[in-house]
Amino acid sequence: MNPEKIETAFSLMREAISTLQQSLGTSFFDAYIENTENLVDNAKVRVLDQQPDEATVAKVEAIYQELLSLELGKEDWRKLTQLLLLKGSKDENLQPNHQLTPDSIGFLFVFLIEQLTLKKEQPLEILDITVGMGNLLLTILINLQAANYSVNGVGVDNDETLLAIAASDSLLMGEMVKLFHQDSLQDLLVDPVDYVIGDLPVGYYPNDQQAKKFTTHSEKEHSFAHHLLLEQAMNYVKPAGFGLFLVPSNFLETEQGPLLQKWLKKDVLLQGIIQLPDELFKSEHSRKSILLLQKTGETAEQAEKVLLVHLPSLKDPSQVTEFFKKFEDWKSSNL
């Protein structure tokens, strides 16, 4: 990846999005989607009811030709779209549950899936239960493919704008991801997958009637959405398949923690908890961990020693390498 090329592409994309935003009078995210769909549609600006005007069309299409001349690869496009969406998220004051999952965490998911996959030639199906803008899923798909894995992605989300971003970005990168616009806690039209992932939204789920279908529901108050989503996600994993989830580090210590523990003991195998570096989070309250679950059945067995590890830093290569070694040693002894 050429940093200068990405910087040039970033400036061009920002100019195109800003031009469309001003001409169409839309939000950043609507202009972003319009821009990405234009690029997918042979780099031609879509005109409806004479909007945008001819001058804008000519200016934006000239920018597109400059962009295409840079000959960006899949990962270049993904990195570029992430930088643009991060900038847009700050300008639009996006709520915390809608923020992008950072690359550093996405690459950890890639490493974990590579380690947990027994046969590299095995085609993999990966479901993101709360796909949002798609950065986590696309990071995994593109980087696994670069490592010669055969992999397909499925995503579900109830936010139409976020899903439209995920859809347009997927097409821009040449990824045929199946995306479903619905409440992830309703019945899903998804076949069982090898891996389910999720950067789970934290908060209460308002539909008490639907929540009652899950072991993790609360009788006293609204149930925690991230608890219900863990249970729902693992329903769509093949026997002995894995779930990798970004959850609050104190997920077992809350008032609804016992409900989650009851489910964990009953239906899945808790194989590991990887506490992420404090440096990634603004406060102690916002710290997160990666939860590693395995579906029961077939060859799945509870690890003799559950992996409990605190990753001190992702900025220090030696500490990341040490974590990789710890995980590999744990896997060979326990899975």
Q: What topology does CATH give the domain 3-92? A: DNA polymerase; domain 1 (1.10.150)
Residue 325, token pair as written in the block: 């070694």
Supply the pLDDT for residue 1. Answer: 63
For the cut 90, the answer to whether the pLDDT of residue 267 exceeds it is no
* pLDDT (mean) for 200-222: 94
Could you report the per-residue pLDDT of 247-260, keeping only the tens digit for each?
999 888 888 988 99
What is the spatial distance between Cα 305 and Cα 333, in angstroms, rounded to a whole number?
9
Q: What percent of the chain has pLDDT over 70?
A: 100
* pLDDT (mean) for 86-103: 81
Q: Which helix (H) or strand (E) holds 74?
A: helix 74-92
Domain ranges across the chain: 3-92, 98-334
For the cut 90, the answer to whether the pLDDT of residue 92 exceeds it is no
Beta bridge partners of 195: 126, 242
Supply the pLDDT for residue 76. Answer: 94
Could you report the per-residue pLDDT of 52-78, keeping only the tens digit for each?
999 999 999 999 999 999 999 999 999
Tell me the CATH architecture of domain 98-334.
3-Layer(aba) Sandwich (3.40)
For the cut 90, the answer to whether the pLDDT of residue 325 exceeds it is yes
- Residue 11's alpha-carbon distances to 5, 16, 17, in angstroms, are 10, 9, 10
Whole-prediction pTM: 0.94
- Give, to the nearest 10 degrees, the angle between helix 54-69 and helix 3-24: 170
* pLDDT (mean) for 183-190: 96
Q: What percent of the chain has pLDDT over 90?
A: 79
For the cut 90, the answer to whether the pLDDT of residue 272 exceeds it is yes
Q: What is the average pLDDT value for the chain, to the nearest integer?
A: 93
* pLDDT (mean) for 235-241: 96
Q: Output the CA torsion 167→168→171→176 (10° steps).
A: 0
Supply the pLDDT for residue 50. Answer: 87
Could you report the per-residue pLDDT of 12-37, keeping only the tens digit for each?
999 999 999 999 999 999 999 999 99
Poorest-pLDDT segment among 86-95, 170-179, 187-196, 283-292: 86-95
For the cut 80, the answer to whether the pLDDT of residue 284 exceeds it is no
Q: Which helix (H) or strand (E) holds 229?
A: helix 225-234
Poorest-pLDDT segment among 89-103, 104-118, 185-199, 254-268: 89-103
**DSSP codes, 83-141:** HHHHHHHHHHT--GGGSPPPHHHHHHHHHHHHHH-S-TTS-EEEEETT-TTSHHHHHHH
